[in-house]
Amino acid sequence: MPAGDPRFFGRSGPHSLAAVAAACGAPAPAGERLFTGVAPLQTATAQEVSFLDNRRYLPALAATRAGAVILHPALVERVPAGTLALPTAEPYAGWARVAALFYPQPAAQPGVHASAVVDPAARVDATAEIGPLAVIGAGAEIGPRCRIGPGAVIGEGVVLGADCRIGALASLSHALLGQRVYVYPGARIGQEGFGFATTPAGFLTVPQLGSVILHDDVEVGANSTIDRGSAQDTVIGAGSRLDNLVQIGHNVRLGRCCVIVALAGISGSTVLGDFVMVGGQVGMAGHLSIGDRARIGAQAGVIADLPAAAEVIGSPAMPAREFFRQVATLRRLAARRGRPAAGEERAESG
């Protein structure tokens, strides 16, 4: 099956060579040509555009029948005859833009489905799409061209800026969203944080009186959860990306363009700077400060503050170089333990 199965993806085009080159930021080769879509190097035809961003796939480039290939300028001479080169310093970003050219996000279909429940006190822009069985609470505001998926629940007072997309069965409460925020299916945003006091009689729930603020261009993956703040707000900075199954505790603050990979959990009141990258299954203690551009490897356990540009891995987390030195030392010790001592070798040979 080619990329962009028409049962699931609407395609635009065909698009001219000039339009494709402009989208990926490459100089347009001479001549006129039309392209109908995008495809991997291995399956692309003369009417399709492909890309190369990893030298491991140079053999596939040599054999490709793609009409054009987006790639780094250093690899232009490796493009086979009959295929046009579209050189750009950032091939993967160029590919993303060309793919979006052929397969743009579906536009909202304005209107409220007959099965949806919209409170009379809600404000829904006329250009927004409200899907089947969706629920919009009193005082909620749904901005222009928003798309609310089937069964999604937008709680009282929640505000969505323009061009937001809320996936099927997601639920939002106590939340303010900027523009172009995408909440994937099943995500839970704005529920009470995990806050309680311990008393002689048992646990006493602490009221969670904050909100969740998602700035522009944030994406929240499927079945991820973001707790609202206790007395402050939980804040996700502009452009940040949360993978599926991520847990964000109350009062957490993420800076701009952070990446949080699947199954990571960030405990309450921890603050991340800009461009922090958190690997899969990372666990972070509460009340920490993580500096700008820190990189935290998969399965790390972070229990102390990290400076800007730190690179850590392991549990407890430690500098990556130190971690790998320890691993190498353990391997050497294990190898020595498995070899017989010099006296034992002589005894065996005798």
Q: What is the CATH number of domain 15-102?
A: 3.40.1390.10
- 335 pLDDT more than 90: no
Task: Give me the helices (H) in the chain, please.
Answer: 17-24, 58-63, 91-102, 320-338, 342-349
Q: How far apart are CA 114 and CA 205, in angstroms?
A: 39
Query: Alpha-carbon distance 142 to 235, whole Å?
Result: 20
Q: What is the reported pLDDT for 28?
A: 87
Between residues 180 and 30, which one has the greater pLDDT?
Answer: 180
Residues of the chain with CATH 3.40.1390.10: 15-102
Considering the entire predicted model, what is its pTM?
0.91
Class at the top of the CATH hierarchy for domain 170-316:
mainly beta
295 confidence band (pLDDT: 50, 70, 90) = very high
The pLDDT confidence band at residue 342, using thresholds 50, 70 and 90, is: low
Residues of the chain with CATH 2.160.10.10: 170-316
Among the listed residues 15, 174, 215, 250, the single catalytic one is: 250
Mean pLDDT, range 232-251, rounded to an integer: 98
Query: What is the pLDDT, as a whole number, of residue 345?
Result: 57
In this prediction, residues 122-126 reach a mean pLDDT of 98
Based on the residue annotation, tell me whether 250 is a catalytic residue of this protein: yes
CA distance 292 to 286: 18
Contact 209, 192 (CB under 8 A): no
